[in-house]
Chains A and B, each alone.
Chain A
Amino acid sequence: MTLEERFDVILAAEDKIEPADWMPDDYRKTLIRQIAQHAHSEIIGMQPEGNWISRAPTLHRKAILMAKVQDEAGHGLYLYSAAETLGVDRDQMQTLLHQGKHKYSSIFNYPTLSWADMGTIGWLVDGAAITNQVMLTRCSYGPYARAMVRICKEESFHQRQGYESLIRLCSGSPEQKAMAQDALNRWWWPSLMMFGPHDTDSTHTEQSMEWKIKRVSNDDLRQQFVDMTVPQADYLGLVVPDRDLRWNEERGHYDFGEIDWEEFWAVVKGNGPMNRDRIEHKVRAWDEGAWVREAALAHAAKKEGAIT
């Protein structure tokens, strides 16, 4: 059996490809691209919520938000670890992110303007992430699939705390409810955009499906998300900002309106409201931490010297 045949047999048997296995070069590259971008998204994703830690309304909410943001850091680290099994280096990925050569999910290029954005992000953004990540637990690459299992457990906390926080806001004063509605108005469409272009415009989907990296198409995942989320909005008494949204008895799914693809591509290309800020902030944090990284190395070298 050739190496390529063995690779195909493992895939066909729904077995996992592991780091030391032979794999086609494009399979490796596709995974590196996807896992690196996923990792960067978790790391940059700390910023929109980190923005509200010092302004959380209660100590309880502040503790929850800190735990969530810390989880996102952890998600980034699990994923960098998974990417490194494919032969790329963590510091190099990070440098490429800082140089703008690696991207991260566009959702984090939108600003967090009110406290209600915290609940809404947990509910919608983490909710969309779960839809995608549950699928990825079945991905053919072992280290990526295992990282997803850990991440999914934690995402459940993220989504539930967000939704619960919105229940509180929506049963509060009219002003609080209006704040929640405003947040939904701003986050609904960017959340749907998280699933990417239509299947017909999605160039890589087919190959990724064949390799079992991706198991469900963009449009199917987006439909799943809408079907799951609309009744949750109803429960909150909030209105989803889409005039075309209605239950389709025949299909057994919600019909919904068209995404503004011009906006979608503008943000992907770097022209969203927060693209520049996010990277600037990331680079600043990295540069300001340089002395800590150097001191830790110097301390390690000194200790080593003392032992031998």
Chain B
Amino acid sequence: MTYEVPVAPGESAELEETADLATEVWPMWEVFVRARRGISHVHIGSLHAADAEAALQNARDVYTRRGEGASLWVVRSSEINAFEPDDISDYVDANEKPYRLATTYEIPDEVGHM
């Protein structure tokens, strides 16, 4: 509960989600961090910034205040093309192709570890 505010008697639990904005807003960027050498960049969150340079600066301040990152990427959120769970039915179930799995092949014990 801590940071959640209870609904006071007589108040509505419905929370408004949209408001009219007076001005243009900064676009959104997705942030990817390489935590250390030897591993890939991992998506860590998003932020808003006017351009890529500012987005990188903000990403450094927001997501790597304790040396969590050796490298940062920022990508405009609108540039991300995603494959969503609902599209999965368009694809053949991988389980129908067990011959792709190493464990489906029987190798005699005498051969040793393979």
Contacts and interface: CB of A to CB of B under 8 A. Distances in A.
Interface of A: 18, 20-22, 29, 32-34, 36-38, 41-42, 67, 70-71, 74, 77-78, 81-82, 84, 88-92, 95-96, 99, 101-106, 128-129, 131-133, 143, 147, 154, 194-197, 202-204, 214, 218, 221, 265, 268-269, 290, 293-294, 296-297, 299-300, 303-304
A101 B65 contact: no
Given A22-B86, A296-B50, A70 B6 contact: no
A74 B25 CA distance: 19
Interface in B53-108: 54, 61-63, 65-66, 82, 84-86
Chain A CB within 10 Å — which of B4, B11, B14, B28 has the most? B4
Q: Which are the 6 A-B pairs with shortest beta-carbon distances? A: A132-B2, A196-B1, A296-B50, A300-B51, A95-B19, A103-B5
A297 B4 contact: no
B62 A95 contact: no
A128 B1 CA distance: 10
A92 B18 contact: yes
A19 to B, nearest CB: 9
Contact of B4 (A34, A265, A303): A34
B19 A32 contact: no
A38 B13 contact: no
User: Interface majority SS on B: helix, strand, loop or mixed?
Assistant: loop
A20 B4 CA distance: 25
Given A84-B46, A268-B6, A296-B26, A204 B13 contact: yes
6 contacts: A36-B15, A81-B46, A105-B2, A194-B3, A214-B1, A299-B50
Given A37-B4, A104-B5, A105-B2, A91 B25 contact: yes
